[in-house]
Amino acid sequence: MYKSIQIFRDNVHENTHLKTLLKGWTATIELHSRDTDEFFHFFYENSSVTPTTQGKATDDTNKIMIAGNKDTLNDIFEGKKKLNRTTNTSELHVTASNLDTIKFDALHQIIWENNADSKSI
């Protein structure tokens, strides 16, 4: 999953629109791969994504928990599947405040808006 998150991170850092749209927003993003029972987390702050760390996040500030199987999580962070805030299915479950969910959805949609191969889940 490190590779997928690095792809996501690179795209966030290259996108200038995020600097104004999400100015001042910080979030802790925790990923849980249900099939491997692995946890990863990173932070979004100052319009950038921090390096990914394996394990559960200890900071619950604006926490967004995304749980799914490893392939689904990889597809989301590589832009192959679109994250949709209303998606809470057996394939993917997102837990966060409404505001944080909307902001993370916006971030995801903006960086992958030109990816014609993305499919909604």
pLDDT 10s digit of each residue in the chain, 121 long? 989 999 999 999 888 888 888 888 999 999 999 999 999 999 999 888 999 999 999 988 899 999 999 999 999 999 888 776 446 677 888 899 999 988 888 888 888 875 544 455 4
Q: Which residue has the tokens 């394990």?
A: 55
**Does the domain spanning 2-120 belong to CATH 3.40.1280.10?**
no
In angstroms, the CA 84 to CA 1 distance is 20
What are the backbone angles phi and psi of residue 60, rounded to the nearest 5°?
Answer: -95, 15
Residue with tokens 């604006």: 62
Q: Tokens 């749209």 belong to which residue?
A: 21
Taking a C-beta distance cutoff of 8 angstroms, is the pair 36, 47 a contact?
A: no
Closest by CA to 44, choosing from 59, 65, 31, 29, is 29
SS3 64: strand
Helices (H), the chain: 2-14, 17-21, 70-77, 98-112
